[in-house]
Amino acid sequence: MQALPVQTVTVALAPVAQSSEYVATIKSRRSSTILPQVSGQLTEIAVHSGDAVKAGQLLMQIDDRQQRATVDSLRATELQKKALNDYDTVEEDRQRKLFEAGVTSRDAYEQAQQAFQNAKADYQSAVEARKAGEQLLGYYTIRAPFNGVVGDIPVHIGDYVSQNQSPATMLTTVDDNTGLEAYIYIPTERSGDVREGLGVNLMDNNGNLLEKTRIDFVSSEVDSTLQGILVKAPVEAKVTTMLRNAQLVKADVIWSTKPMAVVPVLAVTRQGEESFVFVVKQQNGMAMAHRTSVVLGDAVGNNYSIVSGLNSGDMVIVSGTQFLVDGMPVMPMGGPPQAPPAPGKKSGPQSKAEGAQPENSGASRAAAYHPHHRKHHGARVRNSKHRQPATVS
Q: For the chain, which residues score pLDDT lower than 50?
A: 336-393
Q: How far, CA to CA in Å, does 194 sit from each of 181, 215, 222, 231, 343?
A: 17, 9, 13, 9, 62
pLDDT in tens, 291-336: 888 888 777 777 888 888 888 888 888 888 888 888 888 888 765 4
Asked whether the whole model's pTM tops 0.75, one would answer: no
3-class state of residue 3 by DSSP: coil
Q: Rounded CA gap, 169 and 189, in Å?
A: 41
Provide CATH code, domain 4-15+259-333: 2.40.420.20
Q: Does domain 64-139 have CATH number 1.10.287?
A: yes
Q: What are phi and psi of 216, to 5 degrees?
A: -120, 0
Helical packing angle, 106-138 and 65-101, nearest 10°: 160
Residues in the chain: 393
| E strand segments, the chain | 4-10, 12-34, 40-45, 52-53, 58-62, 141-143, 148-150, 160-161, 172-187, 199-203, 209-214, 217-222, 228-235, 248-264, 269-271, 274-283, 286-300, 303-308, 315-317, 328-333
3-class state of residue 390 by DSSP: coil
The radius of gyration of the chain from alpha carbons, rounded to an integer in Å, stands at: 46
- β-partners of residue 148 are 53
Name which of 264, 267, 235, 240 is nearest 251 in CA terms: 235
Provide CATH code, domain 37-62+140-170: 2.40.50.100
Check if the beta carbon of residue 57 is closer than 8 Å to that of residue 141. no
Q: Rounded CA gap, 175 and 47, in Å?
A: 14
What residues does each domain of the chain span?
4-15+259-333, 17-29+182-257, 37-62+140-170, 64-139
pLDDT in tens, 346-381: 333 333 333 334 333 333 333 333 444 444 444 444
* pLDDT (0 to 100) of residue 236: 79
Q: How far, CA to CA in Å, does 188 sit from each of 36, 221, 330, 335?
A: 40, 10, 51, 48
Q: What's domain 17-29+182-257's architecture? A: Beta Barrel (2.40)
* pLDDT (0 to 100) of residue 67: 93
